Amino acid sequence: MRPEVLYPLFVPVTSLPGVGPRLGRLIERVAGPHVVDLLWHLPTGLIDRRHAPKVAAAEPGVIATMTVRVDHHQPPPNRRLPYKVHCSDETGSLTLVFFHAQPDYLQRILPEGETRVVSGTVDRFGDELQITHPDHVGTREELDRLQAVEPVYGLTAGLSLKVLGRAVRAALDKAPELDSWLDPAFAERHGWRAWRDALLEAHAPADEAALEPAAPARARLAYDELLANQLALALVRHHMRRTAGRAIRGDGLLTGRVLGALPFALTGAQEAAWGEIEADMACPARMLRLLQGDVGSGKTVVALLAMLTAAECGAQAVLMAPTEILARQHLATIEPLAAAAGLEIQVLTGREKGKTRTAALDRLRSGEAALAVGTHALFQEDVAFRHLALAVIDEQHRFGVHQRLSLTDKGRAVDVLVMTATPIPRTLMLTAYGDMDVSRLLEKPPGRRPVATRALPLNRLGEVVAAVRRGLDKGAKVYWVCPLVAESEALDVAAAEERSAHLAEVFGAARVGLVHGRMKGAEKDSVMKRFAEGALDVLVATTVIEVGVDVPAATVMVVEHAERFGLAQLHQLRGRIGRGEADSACLLLYAPPLTETARARLNILRETDDGFRIAEEDLRLRGAGELLGTRQSGLPVFRIADLAAHAELLAAARDDARLIVERDPDLTSARGRHLRTLLYLFERDAAVRLLRSG
């Protein structure tokens, strides 16, 4: 159960004074639905109102806080014109300008003949010094409060800084004093204050330096977030290891047959990874290993060898993929090889219905099917295995940790092998896969050809279409990637449906297919199949083609609005081509002018095809929040920590978490109890549930 001291933070933002349902929805959009989310919504800038000149010394374009006498009001002859309030001090005159004014309200806050303090950005209009819509109007007694540094927060349409600032202050009032979960010597070495003090300081930046990731208050809160993340992963790992595993040692019969049937020898990297996995499986502790390899580096074959080792012991192994397309792709790779070993594979996705599904469930339950491939349909409640020993999970960042655990609960002490083609930088790796050992496939398999990559402005679209036509005449197959499914007013991007219609006009409707994320699985698969088998020549797609789809005949990749994609995403898209004998080309179309970051991204892609270097550059250029589309991909999204800036704190949090779990794995000591509060504070409840379940 969540500690009582945190209850006030996990209530809806609408419980704050002055926040009704409409404002609640806007605040939820920028920060989140609970009061605690406002605590993590840190200022992005500041407004300094300490500059308090006389009127004559006020400079246009600068925020000034001035004490003036209200001389007279000048209501407009009609509502379309501005309402003016003329003010002055002993050095000069200042006009306050209001559009769509409410005269009663203005006469109440700015009574003629009285002194008021006004604050806002000064402008000059002709000879007149003006402030349009002052940010603040108050009495002389309120001068100290007005003459302050005001934090600026990220906003959304319809939400003003004043309203959000008020909500944040109300949320901070609810923040309790919490006992420290930090190692005292570590906190002292960094000069960090108590949690609540650091929180208040982070929301009241005194200057620009206080907004930097290295500012003490921000660094302290970032460390808390990273420690919660690392401790949760360490507890999952400890829990997996504590439940006794068993040694899985095959006799080499099935793996030998498959190695003999492969049309090529394993690369050195595949050999090494396979050796590590084999050693893990032979060990009595449970395996929890990540197999990380670039697009086309041969992960599926290594995974199959591990699955066959389980089958050699009379047990079952399952490979789970995040999408039906990917599951069927794995099936296509594995099925002929498994047949060489004399085994059939059972497939189970959302498409299997009725009698087909019942028969599949029976084969898994009886153990008749030693190997299975499928989607998250595999961890539905009615799916049972006779003797599940190994779960291989592909692109696991698209599944939550709880889903990984629910699949491994289908057997006793199931070994877990996770695969990803997403090149992940080391810092992000620790936050997403810190509970795992890692094998990396750094070599490309023999026969992979380099892809020529060019960046072109979108106004050369006609030339690109002509080049695609020349490629089609020579028998090429073409991917054409668009970032959106339908026109969006917010992003003026050529939509996939529109582009598909345009290319169908140019090349003929029979040659052009379309796939996007809103299509049903069977419909999508049918188009992909026609493209793979050669019935279609051009496949217009959103990024659903990014992972795992294998069409060796495809040699051209066109990506529209490449500047909108992450580097790692572009690298993965490019990895869809260059799989056959012919030369391949990737054309990245962008809308000028490019930002420096976007230009750097496109340059790196032209320079290298090393996915790991590309991922490190992506992290450096864009920060972890946007990396790999992490917001969509299930990788942890940090609210305060910045992985590029806080890499050292992440390493320290990892070491601290490891030590905590070694000394106090059930978090029962005094510090352990405070750490439980930390896990709940950052909503890592799953880790606490593991503790409770033992």
As a whole number of angstroms, the distance between CA 679 and CA 231 comes to 8
pLDDT band for position 230 (cuts 50, 70, 90): very high
Q: Which amino acid is at 229?
A: N
Work out the number of other CB atoms within 10 angstroms of the CB of residue 124: 12
Q: Which of 401, 402, 403 is nearest to 378 (CA)?
A: 403
For 85-108, the pLDDT digits (tens) are: 999 999 999 999 999 999 999 999
Buried b (16+ CB within 10 A) or exposed e, 472-481: beeebbbbbb
Please list the residue range(s) of the chain that carry CATH number 3.40.50.300. Answer: 253-441, 451-608
As a whole number of angstroms, the distance between CA 265 and CA 295 comes to 18
Dihedral angle of Cα 398, 401, 406, 411, to the nearest 10 degrees:
100
The SS3 of residue 242 is helix
* Token pair in block for residue 79: 């509502």
pLDDT band for position 693 (cuts 50, 70, 90): low
- Rounded to the nearest 5 percent, the helix, strand and coil shares of the chain are 45, 20, 35
The separation between CA 467 and the C-alpha centre of its own chain, rounded to angstroms, equals 35
- Give pLDDT, residue 433: 73
Backbone dihedral region for residue 100 (phi beyond 0: left; psi -120 to 50: alpha; all else: beta): left
Q: Give the DSSP letter of residue 314.
A: T
For 563-605, the pLDDT digits (tens) are: 877 777 788 888 888 877 788 999 999 988 888 888 888 888 8
Bridge pairing between strands 115-125 and 128-132? antiparallel
Residue 347: which residues within 8 A CB-CB, separation 6 or more?
327, 328, 331, 360, 372, 373, 374
- Give pLDDT, residue 486: 46
- Give pLDDT, residue 428: 74
Q: Which of 52-66, 173-187, 640-654 has the lowest mean pLDDT?
A: 640-654
- Give pLDDT, residue 411: 80
CATH 3.40.50.300 for domain 253-441, yes or no, is: yes
pLDDT band for position 631 (cuts 50, 70, 90): very low
- Give pLDDT, residue 238: 85
Angle at 236 between CA 232 and CA 239, to 5 degrees: 135
- Give pLDDT, residue 485: 43
Residue of 624 and 428 predicted with greater confidence: 428
In contact, 9 and 174? CB cutoff 8 Å = yes
User: Does the pLDDT of residue 414 top 70, yes or no?
Assistant: yes
* Average pLDDT for 685-689: 77
User: Does the pLDDT of residue 4 top 90, yes or no?
Assistant: yes
* Token pair in block for residue 684: 């890592």
> Which CATH number does 451-608 carry?
3.40.50.300
For 433-470, the pLDDT digits (tens) are: 776 788 888 877 666 778 999 999 999 999 999 999 99
* Token pair in block for residue 597: 């970051």
- Give pLDDT, residue 440: 86
* Average pLDDT for 212-225: 97
* Average pLDDT for 688-693: 68
Residue of 397 and 608 predicted with greater confidence: 608
Helix 426-433 with 647-663: angle, nearest 10 deg:
30
pLDDT above 90 covers a percentage of the chain that reads 59
User: Does the pLDDT of residue 623 top 70, yes or no?
Assistant: no
Average pLDDT, the chain: 87
Peptide bond into 593 cis (omega under 30): yes
Q: Which amino acid is at 529?
A: K
In contact, 385 and 367? CB cutoff 8 Å = yes
* Token pair in block for residue 324: 């039906």
Q: Which of 145, 85, 83, 82 is nearest to 113 (CA)?
A: 85
* Average pLDDT for 18-46: 96
Please list the residue range(s) of the chain that carry CATH number 2.40.50.140. Answer: 50-147
Integer CA distances (angstroms), 307 to 230, 311, 406, in order: 30, 6, 19
Bridge pairing between strands 584-590 and 128-132? unpaired
Buried b (16+ CB within 10 A) or exposed e, 645-655: bbbebbebbbe
As a whole number of angstroms, the distance between CA 690 and CA 693 comes to 5
User: Does the pLDDT of residue 147 top 60, yes or no?
Assistant: yes
> Which CATH number does 50-147 carry?
2.40.50.140
